[in-house]
Amino acid sequence: GILFFERMSQEVLDSIRQSLQ
């Protein structure tokens, strides 16, 4: 449940960081 959401948000943050760089 929450673990899935946490992992998904983490992947999204990494994706955004890569896009910014």
**What's the CA gap between 17 and 1, in Å, rounded?**
25
* pLDDT given for residue 18 in this prediction: 98
User: Stretch 1-21: mean pLDDT, rounded?
Assistant: 95
Q: Is the pTM of this model over 0.85?
A: no
Mean pLDDT of 4-19: 97
pLDDT band for position 1 (50/70/90)?
confident
Query: For residues 4 and 19, what is the distance between their CA atoms, to the nearest angstrom?
Result: 23
Token pair listed for 7: 């992992």
Give rounded-to-5 percent helix, strand, coil for the chain: 90, 0, 10
